[in-house]
């Protein structure tokens, strides 16, 4: 029995079938998602909390995808370990290790999604100049000091920046400036501007989010990138 289980997880056939079933599940989801209004609230809370609140009739494909990804994780780890053990005496060591680096990168990205799906947070609020917002952090208040919007003569927003201050209980003030692609990062929270209004009164739609998996996604992405580039360079060299 144990032998069959090990053989199952060490098989590339398993990987292929798992990927096929995963693609089929996401394919079904790609048609269910735009058709069901419930999915518009998917970013309002951590994914796992949202999933628990929804009917299985519309979320079965996501649950299936999570289950398949769990099995793929075991399959990936097992195949990578077996590959390294089997081929450890090859001379092209980098060629052996680079696909495994790609696999590790992929697993880190999965870990990132797992962390963000269980402990992520996202909230939006409209604010004007002078607005004070209670942050989801202890004794911290966000003060929207200035909203600067640069509009060209055709009416297009050319640039913008928002000056903010963090006020803590002990009158401590920390200033920051939020710009396009430059959020304010505070104790694991990402504070950015989702939308702006210049008239009749300057206002911004502030988004406060926390992605506990972001750093793991970045590490996974870098590993994936390094593994991929190394693999291509080595394969090209071999062909030459």
Partner 1 sequence: MLILMLSFAFYLFTLWKRQFFYAGLILQIIYLGMRGFELERLPLVGPHDTLAFLSAAVAAFSIVFARHLKDSLQFINISAIMSAVFTAFALTSKQHSAPLPPVLKTFWFELHVVLAFLSYALFGIAAILGYLFLKERDNYFDGLQYRAVLIGYSFFSISMIFGGIWAYLAWGTYWLWTPKELWTSILWLFYSLYLHVRLRPSWFGKPMAILSITGFAIVLFTYLGVSLLMKSSHSF
Smallest gap from Cβ 25 to partner 1, in A, equals 10
Helix axes 56-86, 2-10, angle to 10 degrees: 90
Which residues are near partner 1 by CB under 8 A? Answer: 12-13, 15-16, 19-20, 22-23, 26-27, 29-30, 33-34, 39, 42-43, 47, 112-113, 116, 120, 122, 152, 154, 156-160, 180-183, 190-192, 194, 207-209, 211, 214, 217-218, 221, 224-225, 228-229, 231-232, 235
Q: Which is nearer to partner 1, 12 or 85 (CB)?
A: 12
Q: Which is nearer to partner 1, 71 or 214 (CB)?
A: 214
Q: Which is nearer to partner 1, 154 or 199 (CB)?
A: 154
CA distance 136 to 119: 13
Other C-beta atoms closer than 10 Å to the C-beta of 155 total 7
Q: Which is nearer to partner 1, 167 or 231 (CB)?
A: 231
Smallest gap from Cβ 84 to partner 1, in A, equals 15
Contacts of 125 (CB under 8 A, 6+ apart): 133, 205, 206, 208
Other C-beta atoms closer than 10 Å to the C-beta of 208 total 21
Smallest gap from Cβ 55 to partner 1, in A, equals 17
Smallest gap from Cβ 173 to partner 1, in A, equals 23
CA distance 110 to 115: 9
Q: Are 80 and 100 in contact (CB under 8 A)?
A: yes
């Amino acid at each position: 029995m144990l032998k069959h289980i090990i053989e199952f997880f060490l098989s590339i056939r398993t990987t292929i079938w798992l990927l096929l079933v995963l693609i089929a599940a996401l394919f079904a989801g790609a048609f269910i998602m735009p058709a069901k209004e419930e999915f518009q609230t998917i970013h309002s809370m951590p994914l796992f909390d949202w999933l628990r609140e929804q009917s299985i009739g519309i979320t079965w494909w996501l649950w299936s995808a999570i289950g398949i990804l769990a099995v793929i994780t075991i399959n990936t780890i097992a195949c990578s370990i077996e590959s390294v053990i089997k081929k450890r005496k090859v001379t092209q060591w980098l060629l052996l290790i680079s696909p495994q680096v790609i696999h590790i990168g992929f697993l880190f990205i999965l870990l990132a999604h797992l962390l963000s799906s269980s402990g992520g947070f996202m909230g939006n609020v409209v604010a004007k100049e002078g607005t004070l917002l209670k942050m989801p952090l202890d004794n911290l208040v966000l003060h929207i000091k200035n909203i600067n919007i640069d509009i060209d003569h055709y009416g297009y927003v050319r640039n913008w920046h928002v000056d903010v201050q963090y006020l803590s209980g002990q009158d401590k003030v920390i200033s920051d400036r939020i710009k396009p692609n430059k959020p304010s990062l505070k104790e694991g929270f990402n504070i950015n501007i989702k939308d702006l209004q210049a008239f009749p009164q300057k206002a911004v739609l502030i988004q406060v989010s926390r992605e506990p998996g972001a750093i793991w996604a970045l590490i996974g992405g870098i590993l994936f990138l390094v593994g991929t580039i190394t693999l291509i360079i080595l394969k090209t060299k071999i062909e030459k």
